[in-house]
Structure 1
Amino acid sequence: MSMRVLVVDDEPLARRGITSRLTRHADVELVGEAADGETALAAIVTHAPDLVFMDVQMPGMSGLETLRSLAPSERPMTVFLTAYDRFALHAFEVHALDYLLKPIDDDRFAEALDRARDALVSRRAMAQQPRLQALLAGEPDAPKYAQRFTVRVGHRVAVVAAGEIDWIEAMGDYAGLHVRGKAHLLREPLHKLALRLDPTQFVRIHRSTIVRVDRIAEMQTLSNRDCLLRLRDGTPLRASRTYGEALRTTLAGQPLSASAG
């Protein structure tokens, strides 16, 4: 059983210490590293790690704030890293798996990893139960991704098919579905909606923006490593460099009318 792990710490030496320990375990797959909370959020969405080693104190968004910005059902197992014992209580408030005090003790690290292995076995067994029950009942599997959404248009309720959406933006607790130049409000935060969208069809390009892949006509890389996208209807959208890797991976093989410049 392989366990996918993400390491988040603003100190390169601290990240190296964790990753070097992880390489000693054949069942661990390191899927990425991040130096801040925003990058960590993007990596969690992109790589869906089973386990995250997360520093508590980081510039900007702290490790605790990063985890709190995700819905409980979307949070990976998390082992917090901290130099101060007082953060332990806060770690368990967000249902962290464990926390390690810096400098990290090898035995405590191995203990936290074993705890993660045990928890992962339980998680995967629970995830299989609905599928097994459906198979035993002779029921076909439910669609994995949302195909349509119900939105309110005046006093009416309209149905918007996923294939009709050009792009989506965060609007507080709502998501704005942009369809042929009109925006429809869906009562669902963007970070939750992102998990229900087919990742082969939709890609997150900013913390507050998702775009349908086949609507992208051009992509230009800017001097700060952000990207400027132009959709087929002419809409310009800015893609944060934080999501650049995921964007380029999704666009691989997609015909674009202009390359990065």
Structure 2
Amino acid sequence: MMIKIIIIDDEPLARSGVAARLAQHPDCKVIAECTSAEDAAEQLPLLRPDLVFLDICMTGLTGIELLDCTPRDVVPAVIFLTAHDRYALDAFRHEALDYLLKPVDDERFNQALDRARRLLDLRERAGNEPDTQESSSDTEFRSEWLTRFTVTAHGRVHLVQTADIDWIEGLGDYAGLHVGEATHLIRKSLNFLEKSLDPSRFLRIHRSAIVNTSRIQHITRLENQDSIVTLDYGHQIRSSRTYYAALKRLLM
């Protein structure tokens, strides 16, 4: 699919830099460049992009304020671009898909773009209507923790038991449930899922990943204090140092 993108930044060099990187990807099309949040507030509902690269500190409204005043149904996947790391918490409270610090290197840029591709692909396969609720029987009878999800794929409704989930990938205000070779998209944030899943069975190991602890095969500590978590079917997930204490308790 062709990804329609709007770049929102008040710095011309920053906009041209993002556009130049995107020009290297045949599946990406920049449909507009906005020099302010006020301009973007008008363009977003008209152009309906799939993805936005959004600066935070701009003259006038900030990028965060733009999201606050834009109806949720017209806010697409958002990748923040900023020179300031102090806004990271606010960005992820707004369910940002990623948060890139300027100057951005090619590897991090491409990683963020790949996450956007996965989200958009999952949304397309789910018919752009990922289910947002647990099953009706769960709503009526479930215990304290979520035990299953209702997901829609290719026009069919499936029940996914939480025990069958290998790991969960945060994709902005969506999440990808990885079950074997399948991935199911739900419109739930990782923050919501972290609070709603049994903490004795699910552990957050990164701002964009929750794992089923029964699937962890081994953990490798890296020199920078991050870790690589290897699941029992060989998949590897990077865990940031912030979550190492919880991982260490798991091993004790």
TM-score normalized by the length of structure 2: 0.50
Where does residue 20 of structure 2 map in the other structure?
A: 20
User: What 5-or-longer segments of structure 1 have no aligned partner?
Assistant: 135-261
State yes or no: 1:103 paired with 2:109. no
**Judging changes above 3 Å, is the alpha-carbon distance between structure 1 residues 131 and 114 closer, same or farther for their aligned structure 2 residues?**
closer
Displacement after TM superposition at 1:88 (Å): 0.8
**Judging changes above 3 Å, is the alpha-carbon distance between structure 1 residues 116 and 128 closer, same or farther for their aligned structure 2 residues?**
closer
Displacement after TM superposition at 1:59 (Å): 0.7
Where does residue 119 of structure 1 map in the other structure?
A: 119
**Judging changes above 3 Å, is the alpha-carbon distance between structure 1 residues 81 and 126 closer, same or farther for their aligned structure 2 residues?**
same
Question: How many residues get paired?
Answer: 134
Give the Cα–Cα distance (whole angstroms) in 2 for the partners of residues 59 and 30 of structure 1: 22
Where does residue 206 of structure 1 map in the other structure?
A: none
Displacement after TM superposition at 1:67 (Å): 1.1
Displacement after TM superposition at 1:71 (Å): 2.7
What SS does the corresponding residue of 2:125 show, helix, strand or coil?
helix
What SS does the corresponding residue of 1:13 show, helix, strand or coil?
helix
Contact 2:44/2:74, CA 8 A, preserved across alignment? no
Give the Cα–Cα distance (whole angstroms) in 2 for the partners of residues 102 and 29 of structure 1: 22
Give the Cα–Cα distance (whole angstroms) in 2 for the partners of residues 15 and 54 of structure 1: 10
Give the Cα–Cα distance (whole angstroms) in 1 for the partners of residues 10 and 72 of structure 2: 24
Where does residue 39 of structure 1 map in the other structure?
A: 39
Where has structure 1 moved over 6 Å in runs of 4 or more?
A: none
Give the Cα–Cα distance (whole angstroms) in 1 for the partners of residues 128 and 9 of structure 2: 33
**Judging changes above 3 Å, is the alpha-carbon distance between structure 1 residues 33 and 128 closer, same or farther for their aligned structure 2 residues?**
closer
What SS does the corresponding residue of 1:91 show, helix, strand or coil?
helix
Greater Rg by CA: 1
> Percent identity among equivalent residues?
43
Displacement after TM superposition at 1:125 (Å): 2.3
CA RMSD of aligned residues (A): 1.9
Give the Cα–Cα distance (whole angstroms) in 1 for the partners of residues 49 and 28 of structure 2: 11
The amino acid of 2:54's aligned partner reads M
What SS does the corresponding residue of 1:127 show, helix, strand or coil?
coil
Where does residue 211 of structure 2 map in the other structure?
A: none
What SS does the corresponding residue of 1:60 show, helix, strand or coil?
coil
TM-score normalized by the length of structure 1: 0.49
The amino acid of 2:74's aligned partner reads E
User: What 5-or-longer segments of structure 2 have no aligned partner?
Assistant: 130-151, 157-252
Where does residue 72 of structure 1 map in the other structure?
A: 72
Give the Cα–Cα distance (whole angstroms) in 1 for the partners of residues 77 and 107 of structure 2: 19
Displacement after TM superposition at 1:45 (Å): 1.3
Give the Cα–Cα distance (whole angstroms) in 2 for the partners of residues 127 and 88 of structure 1: 31
